[in-house]
Amino acid sequence: MNFGAALPARVVTNEELSGLVGRTADWIRKVSGIEERRYVDADTTVADLAWEAASDCLARAGMKASELGLILVSSGTPARQFPGPASQVARRLGLDETPAVDIPIASAGGLFGMAMAGDMANRRGPVLVVAAEVMSRIAMREPLEAGISVLFGDGAGACLVHPSEGKARILGSRMATDGAFAEDLRLEFGAGLAMNGRSVILHASRKLPRVILQVLEEQGVTARDVDVYLMHQANQNLMDRVADSIGVERERFYTNIARYANTSSASMLIAAAEWEKESGFAAGHKVCFTAFGAGYHWGAMLAEGRGGEVLAAGGR
């Protein structure tokens, strides 16, 4: 795999938000694991962040945009109803015929994009998956809610999936959707984020361990065989719960939520981009990606390191 990321320059600390939401900086840290987050400036759009992350990913992979067969762009916070940011990203990459498709799935969109890319790369060629969110403009809408406003930040992440070459190959994945609880996490036009936090945590803490273990079992792998878990950075307490539920050390779950907060569908790919810089795939090492989000949508993917330049869709 090759990953990329884009993060705004402005750092917003818990101390800066504490007076606005009537909570202490320590309270914010304890309930979420967050210490700071990044906010875009007034002129930056989702498409801007997505293009930066896409460019970073391609540069790391040493690949030209003209070699791409497909672009998938996930965002739950686009600037308008249509067209979505995918076509803008393709244009800014200098492409005028390469198909670019929007995936409007908050939180889990990056993972769904990776799974779709794994299925489509053999037919389309290299697939670039991008997830970009500007959550600050949603979280900071009046009236501010302490349980929502402090949780989110802005950013973008990207992943390149190649049909055959790469540092790793996708072993398997499983995606799921249950619309029965769609009202518990939603964003209406022109409104603030509506979130039933208890419902989200309850379902995520049950569904994520189950889908992780299902994917691992299908590949004959145990939870302790996995070297690192790259999870949607929703809440540190939730990540700890999932680790405990599948019986592995919490340290196996890579975390950067303290620095960037919850960047919705971008968070898992931003975490992957940082992890890749710090350590990355080694031959034989197994990495599990997992996410849960609005819809409810959730899933897991298992990859195995093998050396190379980009994530491979499958095969040896």
- Read off the DSSP letter of residue 42: T
d(C-alpha 114, C-alpha 106), whole Å:
14
% of the chain surpassing 90 pLDDT: 93
- The three-class DSSP label of residue 177 is strand
* Mean pLDDT rounded to a whole number for the chain: 95
What tokens were used for 119?
Answer: 């299925």
Cα–Cα distance for residue pair 84/199, rounded to 1 Å:
29
Digit-coded pLDDT (tens) for 205-214:
999 999 999 9
pTM over 0.75: yes
* Domains along the chain with CATH numbers: 2-162 (3.40.47.10), 168-312 (3.40.47.10)
Model confidence at 290, pLDDT cuts 50, 70, 90, reads very high
pLDDT at 316 over 50: no
Beta bridge partners of 132: 156
pLDDT digits 0-9 by tens, 130-171: 999 999 999 999 999 999 999 999 999 999 999 988 889 999
pLDDT at 224 over 80: yes
Check pLDDT > 80 for residue 309.
no
Cis peptide bond upstream of 296, omega within 30: yes
